[in-house]
Structure 1
Amino acid sequence: MEFIDLKAQYRALKTSIDARIQKVLDHGQYILGPEVAEMEQKLAAFAGAKHCISCASGTEALLMSLLALGIKPGDEVITTPFTFAATAEMIVLAGAKPVYVDIERDTCLIDASQIEAKITPRTKAIMPVSLYGQVADMDAIHAIAARHGNIPVIEDAAQSFGATYKGRKSCNLSTIGCTSFFPSKPLGCYGDGGAVFTNDDAIAKALREIRVHGQERRYYHTRIGVGGRMDTIQCAVVLGKLERFEWEIERRLALGEQYRALLQKAGVKAGLLQVRPDRDCVWAQYTVFVEKREAVQKALQELGVPTAVHYPLSLNRQPAYRDDASAAETVNSHWAAERVMSLPMSADLNPQQMERVVAALQGVL
């Protein structure tokens, strides 16, 4: 059994993806070819945002966003410690300090009620993470940001493209939204890729310049930038996958509900992530909470059921980002890091596979 069945997805989309890639090979415009602009237009329309700027990865999307906002040494960016390292990594590379706020234990999303206490005169951005496919409470976060001088909000939406919050799409909920097209994401390419979304014309202009080494025009550099372009072939792959993306979102939503129903019916003694009633979850990972996780994973592996852990150690306990003061406060992040375990999930997961996973987990627990 595959943890994420990219092979089945490719078989379903082979004709379209192959044709898209062949077209790039034929025209030979491998950097900023026509597929780049086509993908950006389609993604912007999908999210409902005015601008989409593609880039080399979801990580690059975060860095470019921070640079576009003028984040500099001495600034602070509020975020969660329960996320992939790239979130804090890009804050640090921009010269700023990550300020950690704990998560809600039942969703693993940043606890908006704790953000305001962490705001200082040095706070220049708030970066909530839409984890496991569900968006954080963006309205509450924006209300806090507005009370403190309209602090920009960057949604780290690497895992939630396609999800909705109060009827609005992830990546079009804040000043800037950033997503990833890493192969395992809800909408992935066959390498690295990402995109930044915004409705602000000035920010969009800055992002487009930053993406090409800060160039306003060829060899005229108006700002510090990066080599952040997404290559044309990867854009072609995303365009091929977009043809059934709406169906895949529907499948992910349905599979999440089916997993929950099967786990509850079987009486599996695992904690389940909660999805708030004002939003949905596209289940980039279907994650549960288990005790004695290492032993559970080993037993499941022996039964042929793959699992993964996202993430086993919160960032403020990582050697590179250690922050003992916040680590003592973020007790929910530490609790979750010791218990989260992700089960196989992809749009092509079939009922027999899901039943096998649930039966195996029930037996092991």
Structure 2
Amino acid sequence: MKLLKSEVKVPFLDLKKQYSQIKPLIEKAVLEVLESQEFIMGSQVTSFENNLKEFLGVEYAITVSSGTDALLASLMALGVKEGDEVITTAFSFVATADSIVRLGAKPIFVDISYDDFNIDVTKIESLITKKTKVILPVHLFGQSVDMIKISEIAKKYNLKVVEDSAQAFGSRTLTNKFVGTIGDLGCFSFFPSKNLGGAGDGGLVVTNNSDLAEHIKLLRSHGAREKNNSEVIGGNFRLDAIQAAVINVKMKFVSEWNRLRVEKANIYNNLFREFSLNKYIKLPKLSKGHSFNQYVILTDRRDSLFQFLLEEKVSCKIYYPYILPEQKCFKYLMKREYPIATKISKEIISLPIYPEISFEQQYKVALSIKNFFDKK
């Protein structure tokens, strides 16, 4: 068995390594913004949006201030209002659901699939009512939802679809289309920890509908086409030029970074099988199109394993310890059971995965988990 130095540390994410590889390009792009003094909208944002359109193969790409604001603006553009219902997953980051609530609408949570942690598409139709306006699937951890089935349901009931692709830039569906490009609107986040991340917050809305695109553009600038004359209530949803410049540089590398994430996921799976750990932990599916924003495993000894890994200098996270309906801000909603999401929330643990993680670091992770279960 390969020996490791005990001092090997494994950070959950190492953005410094990424930055060191593209530092001259990033600094040049940021300096151009500073020299232009064009900080809000402008040529950097336009260039970035054009490159996004070309990359994703969509008609319209509208950058916004965050992934959360991408969701909010999308729902606003679709006219979601008080009394409406939006069907979404019970297992995601809070922004998925709070964007619905902020408009006075009601999130209708659906349990998830045990295999991919995404919304269980077989349970959607039974929850559709006359108040249902939108289906909001989440491509969690970089793995695509079954968008064929989602699209069929939406068409059958004349519903709109907003894809929450915050964790899945560059992921593809089973039909090889980029996630976020199939529904009426697709939403992305450029938070620094994402596969394509900025130097702060940032987001994106994509669509092939010209009316929706124009509405999103209107909403992101306080609802105004001309200054000081707002047509509708909007918000300050604009992306800063510096963020556009930074992410525009990184976009040149994201396909290779995503390829490396899949490669690292394969290495984990192989190491865990080599150590016979698949009898103790459930490994993620290596589905076609997955981009592995997170590499997650399941174990009924999650909490003790989590603490053990931290002691071994292996950083890890829990996404998510609470399902959305259990969070305090949603306690007022009708109580239903979500057995799969609840079970997963008690067993899930995210391990370090990023393009720059070394084999030695991955081996340290796998060996640490083996040592934990060997002590059983």
TM score, norm. by length of structure 1: 0.97
- Alignment-mate amino acid for residue 317 of structure 1: E
| 2:169 paired with 1:167 | no
1:189 — aligned with what?
Answer: 198
1:271 — aligned with what?
Answer: 282
Q: How many residues align?
A: 361
Secondary structure of 1:40 counterpart: helix
Q: Which moved more, 1:317-326 or 1:56-65?
A: 317-326
Separation of aligned partners in 1, 2:332 and 2:54: 40
Are 1:29 and 1:232, in contact at CA under 8 Å, matched by a contact in 2?
A: yes
2:244 — aligned with what?
Answer: 235
1:126 — aligned with what?
Answer: 135
Separation of aligned partners in 2, 1:275 and 1:143: 25
Separation of aligned partners in 2, 1:61 and 1:324: 24
Secondary structure of 2:160 counterpart: coil
Q: CA deviation at 1:245?
A: 1.4
Separation of aligned partners in 2, 1:353 and 1:304: 11
Q: CA deviation at 1:49?
A: 1.0
Q: CA deviation at 1:219?
A: 2.2
Are 1:212 and 1:226, in contact at CA under 8 Å, matched by a contact in 2?
A: yes
Separation of aligned partners in 2, 1:291 and 1:327: 23
2:343 — aligned with what?
Answer: 335
1:211 — aligned with what?
Answer: 220
1:17 — aligned with what?
Answer: 26
Q: CA deviation at 1:259?
A: 1.3
Separation of aligned partners in 2, 1:315 and 1:37: 36
1:352 — aligned with what?
Answer: 360
Separation of aligned partners in 2, 1:207 and 1:106: 35
Q: In the TM superposition, what whole-angstrom CA distance separates every residue of 1:238-257 from its partner, at most 9, and x where no partner exists?
A: 01211211210111121112
| 2:54 paired with 1:45 | yes
Are 1:107 and 1:275, in contact at CA under 8 Å, matched by a contact in 2?
A: no
Q: CA deviation at 1:33?
A: 2.5
Q: CA deviation at 1:327?
A: 3.7
Are 2:223 and 2:232, in contact at CA under 8 Å, matched by a contact in 1?
A: yes
Are 2:258 and 2:292, in contact at CA under 8 Å, matched by a contact in 1?
A: no
1:104 — aligned with what?
Answer: 113
Secondary structure of 1:164 counterpart: coil
Which of 109, 116, 124 lines up with 1:115 in the alignment? 124
Are 1:317 and 1:327, in contact at CA under 8 Å, matched by a contact in 2?
A: no
- Alignment-mate amino acid for residue 337 of structure 1: S
1:286 — aligned with what?
Answer: 295
What residue ranges of structure 2 are gaps of 5+ in the alignment?
1-9
Secondary structure of 2:370 counterpart: helix
Q: CA deviation at 1:274?
A: 2.2
Q: CA deviation at 1:326?
A: 4.8
Q: CA deviation at 1:108?
A: 0.3
Are 2:176 and 2:289, in contact at CA under 8 Å, matched by a contact in 1?
A: no
Are 1:253 and 1:280, in contact at CA under 8 Å, matched by a contact in 2?
A: no
- Alignment-mate amino acid for residue 318 of structure 1: Q
1:155 — aligned with what?
Answer: 163
- Percent identity over the alignment is 35
Q: CA deviation at 1:53?
A: 0.5
- Alignment-mate amino acid for residue 339 of structure 1: E
Q: CA deviation at 1:4?
A: 0.9
Q: CA deviation at 1:220?
A: 2.4
What residue ranges of structure 1 are gaps of 5+ in the alignment?
none
